[in-house]
Amino acid sequence: MSVVAGEKVTHVGRRTVLGLGAAGIAGIVLGSRVQQAASGVLTKLSTSLGPLGALVPGADQFRIYTITGSIPQISTAAYRLSVDGMVGHPLRLSLDDLRTRFPRTRLTHKFQCVTGWIVPDVHWEGVLLSDVLKEAVPRGRASALRFFSGDGVYTESLTLTQAHLPDVLVADRMIGDDVTPEHGGPVRLYVAPMYGYKSIKWLERITVTDEVVPGYWEQWGYPVNGWIGGVAQQ
Ligand SMILES: Nc1nc2c(c(=O)[nH]1)N[C@H]1C(S)=C(S)[C@@H](COP(=O)(O)O)O[C@H]1N2
Ligand SMILES: [Mo]
């Protein structure tokens, strides 16, 4: 089957397509373990879990999404997270900086995609986005954040207030392992109270701004304030 993802047409055996109705855009879903094995893209996930895979909560229930049709391979040595824009101290953090300069934070929470699938009790680990921001020191009329992915296309947004919630993580570990390339490693965002599309994968750059710029799916109609259940808070 052929799937059009951005400019690319990819052939990867059996596959589910995330249709977006009005937008008419197809995102790629690499679904079940069977499909993952068939595609060959995700064998690392399967093999790294080995026979214990079934015992790791949630490990086999995620669908792997990538709007570009590929899985960026970012080496842990070369990885950098930039924080720039309206800040007093722009940052450029290696994975080691991220792991040693900030308090480690763990939480267990479901992961829920707006299309309906939910993975309960996922273990997440990393640093609080608010701790990173504390070091960058937002200044002036700073009120929002833009997030950029190493895939070169996907973007996300949060207000500065949302970014300070105690369950918004810059995550380098999930489901009992370092975040794999398929799940957006070495580092992805995890916004626990919001739908999965807010949790940008291959997080590379955070820009502090004075206005919310809607993220990738938000330009196609998903709510910018993606609270799970659509709770009316800002
Ligand atoms: N860079 C990037 N981040 C992304 C996406 C994507 O396609 N590209 N999909 C989003 C959506 S809609 C969901 S539900 C989750 C899926 O995370 P997973 O692929 O680890 O299951 O990633 C989010 N972050
Ligand atoms: Mo999603």
pLDDT (0 to 100) of residue 20: 36
DSSP label at 227?
B
pLDDT digits (tens, 9 = 90+) for 167-189: 999 999 999 999 999 999 999 99
pLDDT (0 to 100) of residue 174: 98
Give the predicted TM-score (pTM) of the model: 0.81
Concatenating the DSSP letter of every residue in 88-134 gives SS-EEEEHHHHHHHS--EEEEEEEE-TTS-EEEEEEEEEEEHHHHHH
36 lines ligand 1 (CB under 6 A): no
65 lines ligand 1 (CB under 6 A): yes
Ligand 2 centroid – CA 158 distance (Å): 16
Q: Tell the residue nearest (CA) to atom 7 of ligand 1.
A: 66
Mean pLDDT in each 10-residue stretch from start to end of the chain (234 residues)?
A: 31 33 36 36 39 61 97 98 98 98 98 96 98 98 98 98 98 97 98 98 98 97 94 56
Ligand 1 centroid – CA 199 distance (Å): 7
146 lines ligand 1 (CB under 6 A): no
DSSP label at 137?
-
Count CA atoms within 13 Å of residue 45 on its CB side. 32
Q: Can you give the residue ranges of every domain in the chain?
A: 14-230
**Atom nearest to 117 CA in ligand 1:** 14
- Mutate which of 197, 204, 218 for ligand 1 pocket (most atoms within 8 A of beta carbon): 197
Name the CATH superfamily, with its identifier, for domain 14-230: Oxidoreductase, molybdopterin-binding domain (3.90.420.10)
